[in-house]
Amino acid sequence: MELDLLYGFIGDHESGTSPQLLSNLHDRRKLTPEQIAEDPALEDGDSNGLNDEAAYPTQRGVVITKIEDIFESIADCILDEGKELVIPLKTRPRNITVANKDDPTKINSSASAESRKITFPSKSPREAWKFTALLRILELSHEALVTGTVTTKRDMYYRDPELFVRQAAVDRYIDDIAYTFGVGRDALNVVAAAKGLVAGAFSIERKDGSKIYHCTEPEGILIPPSIKDIANVRLAYVNWILVIEKEATFRTLATNQYWKDSVAGKGILITAKGYPDIQTRQFLHLLSYQHPTIPIFALVDFDPDGISIMSTYKHGSMSLAHETNVAVPSIRWLGVRSCDFLNTETEIQGLLNLTARDRRVAVKMLAKCVDEEERDVEWKREFRVMLMLNVKAEIQILGNGDMLGEWLDKKLLHAI
């Protein structure tokens, strides 16, 4: 039954116009490193300085070769009847990481990855399904790389929803494949659907020559899904960049064009609508790399999740430790902090008690800060205040509209 499933997929499965990769693999002449370097169709062009040491022009060809190595190994096993089919896979460590001291664009981790072999035939139906799903994802990624197109994780799921069953399966296996290859997800020509928003005094120049001007969308635009397509981000007399946890707060400030009318000068507003996706983190990293003198600030809730979101921007995350060029060590905490509601003459409305989950997360993050002496001292102090007073506060306690703008003016003027 398992062999019927796999052979049916290999021989008969149709996916639009995609080629049947395994049917003629032995007739394919694999790309050599020299051919990859010489073939302009396999070049990704300017790296924007995002990864100076990585061979961006050859990365696409290298990934194609790695995928074809797996296909060829499977084809050999099929021809040699009785051999087990294997896809090697590394699963990502899950504990928290911090930025590398010597290279802030890289991630340190004390955890080791788990390497395993996904086999077919296998002892369980789930293993057989996993093998087939991984093979299909490799095929779709190979198709995108060879044709030079970029696909989203969502599009990939809808190419074969009956096989994948859930979007989460596609998301997890794409990241595991990228981790196994030692590359970022975008090296597979797969990106997440656009999520983050940006508004401000800027323009984006794409490598195809097209441009996006901030003035055409004063309330914000979606952050481009593929940072590799960006040639340059030009800033028009920008004094600050503000990363905002909540979309509602972002929209309030963008609608009021705070980025243009701030007393602190022109700025950039960014939100990932909660926990940041890779595209938003890469875009912020690009801004910090191209414009290192412009300060970057975070406006998050005074609770464990808010600080965790800020930590993800600043230090990176373990689940995507293989993704480089996403950490922004220079980001600074603008608010909300305990001083914003403790040292005030008027009574603050809207303070909340920590939940049991909040306390567990806060204790765990505080322990991590204590273990790492160089971790932000301010974070340790704020966690202790949070736990001792058993309170948390959302951005909304600062007020809306004009009140929020006045608070930001004062904070930004003091910080920049």
| Residues 262-277: tens digit of each pLDDT | 999 999 999 999 999 8
pLDDT value at residue 24 = 44
Please give the radius of gyration of the chain, using alpha carbons only, rounded to the nearest integer: 24
pLDDT value at residue 281 = 92
pLDDT value at residue 21 = 46
- Which structure tokens are listed for 348? 């603050």
Q: Write the DSSP symbol of residue 302.
A: B
CA atoms within 13 Å, Cβ hemisphere of 170: 25
pLDDT value at residue 388 = 94
Which residues of the chain carry a pLDDT beneath 70?
1-58, 82, 93-113, 214-218, 317-324, 344-348, 370-375
Angle at 137 (CA atoms; ends 133, 141), nearest 5 degrees: 170
Angle at 327 (CA atoms; ends 337, 330), nearest 5 degrees: 50
pLDDT value at residue 378 = 85
pLDDT value at residue 346 = 63
Which part of the chain has CATH 3.40.1360.10?
A: 197-415
pLDDT value at residue 93 = 65
pLDDT digits 0-9 by tens, 168-193: 899 899 989 988 988 888 888 888 77
Architecture of 197-415 per CATH? 3-Layer(aba) Sandwich (3.40)
390 Cβ contact partners less than 8 Å away, ≥ 6 residues apart = 353, 354, 359
Helix (H/G/I), strand (E/B), else coil: 97: coil
pLDDT value at residue 305 = 94
- Which structure tokens are listed for 171? 């998301």
289 is catalytic: no
pLDDT value at residue 250 = 93
Q: Is the separation of the CB atoms in 267 and 239 below 8 Å?
A: yes
The number of angstroms, rounded, from the C-alpha of 129 to the middle of its chain's C-alpha atoms is: 27
Catalytic residue among 56, 157, 158, 289: 158
pLDDT value at residue 280 = 92
Helices (H), 150-293: 153-159, 161-164, 167-181, 247-255, 258-261, 278-290
